[in-house]
Amino acid sequence: MKKILTVVTSLALAASSFSTVGFASSASAKGKPVIEEQKEEPKTVNYTVVTEYDENGIAISETTITEGDMEIASDSDVELLSSGLDLEEGSAIDDPQYAYVDPGSMNYYFIDSFTGSSTFLDKLSEWSARFAAATIPAMLTKSTWVAGASSATFETFYNPSATRYYKTNIYQAKDTYWYYGKHISYQYSDSARTNLTKKVEFLSKTAR
């Protein structure tokens, strides 16, 4: 029987809209402070769904984690993780496009993919490097995307008892209000990548 465990956490996003920057050389002589406007970070929420499988490939557990700006979180967002995937490997990843969200469904455009194994991907920094080198979903902040995607994947696949093999697909989409970036990483027990043991789905949603 499939077991579902939902975990919700809230992280404070470090965002400030203004900062005071001392006195400029020309203004300091007049004793007038110079105030520079600092760009406000867009609101972002991340969802991670981890699914584990038995030796017959049947899902036996599922854990959902929500992090980020809870003001824009929605229970229906998790449904967007598994809908409307364009898995065609021939998609032009050098010219990323958007898939537009249709009412009642989510369509994602495939933008990149990479593989690896636990022999070489056994540290958070290594996962971060792979996500940073891959195509970043358009309009998402690179540092935020890489940190979230790599952390979710590393924590899911950390320290396997034997060598495991991975495949990661990356997607993007948008609708009237939001930009979406998604990746799905699969863990297999064999180098041919046929015996699925675990899967992590990560969705990042940010306001337009």
Q: Where are the domains of the chain?
A: 3-207
Task: Give the residue-averaged pLDDT of 87-109.
Answer: 47
Give the number of other Cβ atoms within 10 Å of residue 39's Cβ.
Answer: 7
What average pLDDT is seen over the chain?
A: 76
Distance CA 3, CA 51 (A): 10
Distance CA 172, CA 111 (A): 7
SS3 87: coil
Task: Give the residue-averaged pLDDT of 78-103.
Answer: 47
Closest CA to 172 of 76, 106, 104: 106
Q: Please, which pLDDT band fits residue 10 given cuts at 50, 70 and 90?
A: very low
Task: Give the residue-averaged pLDDT of 126-136.
Answer: 96
**Cα angle for residues 179, 182, 121 (degrees, 5° grid):** 140
**Cα angle for residues 138, 86, 107 (degrees, 5° grid):** 65
Q: Please, which pLDDT band fits residue 156 given cuts at 50, 70 and 90?
A: very high
pTM value is 0.72
Q: Does residue 105 surpass a pLDDT of 70?
A: no
